[in-house]
Every structure is written in structure tokens, then in C-alpha cells.
A and B are shown apart, each in its own frame.
Chain A
Amino acid sequence: MTESTKGNRFAIQTFSLSRKFGDLVAVDGIDLSIEEGELFSVLGPNGAGKTTTIKMLCCLLRPSSGTATIMGHDIQKDPIAAKQVMDVSPQETAIAEHLNAWQNLSLMGGIYGLAKEEVRKRSEELLEMMGLTKRAKDRVRKYSGGMKRRLSIVMALVSDPQVLFLDEPTLGLDPQSRRSIWERIAELKGKKTIILTTHYLEEADALADRVAIIDEGKIVALGTPPELKDSISDMQVMVVKAKNLPIDVIEGLREKYPEVKEVEDGIEIKAKEFSFDEVVDYLRLKGVVIESTYRKQITLDDVFLHLTGKELRE
């Protein structure tokens, strides 16, 4: 737990939470405390253990050792009580396709034990908030991908959970739909404890109070987005745009600067110290026609790559 968190009570606490699959340690003794009202983002490359962690917190996977609490309810000793105070919007659009939006919401509200009138009232508010009111009576199989994803989030909210898990809520959506969902999530900030897993680092950067980066089953970094960026603030990132960049030239740069990443129409070089002139001279000597060079602001992408050595979108 860092000093930067400011709530009064923990919504989620994990205690040496671990899960093994045979000899493979998918989650390796994670200790984490998330305060009420926090929007907490979990990042990690594929196979890092984030889905396994979330599944354990959602009581869908038994821990091999350790445990966790959701609003004080132990996920192993009292999973039904833990489930009563949380809900999840899975990565896939988990909706009943033959039903309309009202019926889907009525289904979710009902199984959480809400009265019909309460479900209707909450559904009205949430459908309005997500811009789905006009199509609420249509069968959801006719919805676009973005509408289905918004409904999926509404379905997780209808039970008025104290803790909300959003698993890749904007994966595969067009930029406009993605931004629309970001705005809705931003409206929930402070009202719910939200655990957001995402492949879009800019999403975590824009929305999250705190970010945990998980790699090989362990938390390798934890803090607010500015804290994480500051942790590598002594690094500089230089971007070179050039069309003819042969691989041997890039390999030559890598001998001097370990973090050289190929980007669209160029390369990105990250290092604690380097001279712009030295890089430019080297490239010109090798016959590379440079179109532009500039210094880039550190992003969560850079932090992620620096800590894990992997691209998030592999």
C-alpha cells in the first residue's frame, strides 16, 4: 500500500494470494490493498497472472494458498457474501442475446435479489447513462459491438455493487465507442471501487487512481500513474522517424542502448544518458535518411516496457 491512497477502508485485500497450475506458478503470493472508491488498474502482459488474480477475487478460481477479502468477506470462507457485494463485466460481451436490454437487466437484478421496482428504476437510470434507452426494447443480438459492451457494463452495475470488476471493457472497440465508455467509467469514479484490467495503457493512465503492473505472477510496480512515470523519470526517450532503417543499423544502436524499440516509420531509443547528436551522426554515417527526431514524454507504455521487458499488446 502506498502513501498516496486516501480512502478510509479497504474494499479488497489480498494476503499472499497464490495459484499454481501443476508446476506453473500463475500468481505468486500477491499482497494488495485497494481502498473503497478507488479506481485500480491491473496491467500485465499475456500470461502475467492478472486474469487468474481477478478470477480468484471473483470466487471463480480457488487459490492454491493465501486468501483475499472483498468488503471484509473472505472469498474462501464466505464466497456468497463476497459475491453479493461485487459484480463483474467480463471481457467478452456476456449478455443473453435473445433477450432485450430490459430483460437482461431484470435477469441480473433478480438473481442479486433486487425487487422488480428497484431493478426497473436502476435500469432506467443506467440505460440513460449509457445511451441505450432508445434501443432498450430491441433484442440485443441486433446491437452493435459498442452497444453490447455498454450493456454488459450496465448489467454489472444494476445490482449496485460496491466493488466492480471491469475486464478489458473497451477491447476491440472503435476509438469513439472507447472514449464514450471511458467517460461513463469516469462518472463512476469515487462512487464504486473499480478494478480495471486493460491492454490500453492510455486507458489506465486516463482513468486509474493507482496502477499495479503484474509480471510472472508478481506485482512488479504499484503506484499512481505519475508515480510510476516518475520512477523512470531519469530516462530519456528519443524518437527518430526515418524510412530506410536496416536491421543491422538498429542492432548497432542496441549494442549501445539496450532499449531500442521499432515503431511506425522509425525507432524509439530509451536510455538514462545519450547524446542526440551522437545518434543522428551514427544514423547518417550508415546512410539513413532522417525525417525527424524529437524527445518524447515518458508514458505508462515506457514504464511497462522498462519493468517487464515486454510490449503489452504482444
Chain B
Amino acid sequence: MGLVARVVEDMGIPTVTVSTGRDIIALVRPPRSLFVNHPMGNTFGRAGDRALQKEILRAALDLAVTATEPGVLVDLPYRWDEDFVFFTGEATAEARERQLKK
């Protein structure tokens, strides 16, 4: 996706990428990135949390007009209210427990 953003920007349309994978965007380096430390799939928050969804979207839009440096990566301050792990397809309590012990 970061690669697509680079192509879009290169062809003349500004982009902002909003990602939950900080190491991935740091490598691929889309033109403007926001990192949200939420589980993948919850970039904009939880189901029904309209206020937070809107706040994060607004932060993305703002970055489009405030960023001055190509490849900028901004860390948003939001925290998820519980620890989470890489999704393996087995989203059970046991799987989570096992990964957190590692």
C-alpha cells in the first residue's frame, strides 16, 4: 500500500498513509505517514467510536497540508486500552496469552 501511495504521489496527487505497522512504513516510506499504535484492523479505533474515528481521520487530513518533508512519519499519541499481539488467525485468549509470554 505504501508503494501505491508513492506511485500516486509521483503522478501528481498528494497522499497520506495511515498505518498500524510502524516498521513497515518506516521501510517503505510513503510520502506522508501517520502511525497509530492500534491493532491492525482498528486503525481508526473501535466499532462505534465515532469521535475517535473522526479525530484520527482529521489528523490524517491535516498532515496533508502541514507536512513539509517528503517521507515524514508522525506518531499519533493514542493508546489502545489493552495489550495486543500480531494476528495469526487464532484470535483466542490462549493464543494471546502464549504470544505475550514470549
Co-complex (A, B): no
Which residues of chain A have a CB within 8 Å of any CB of chain B?
none
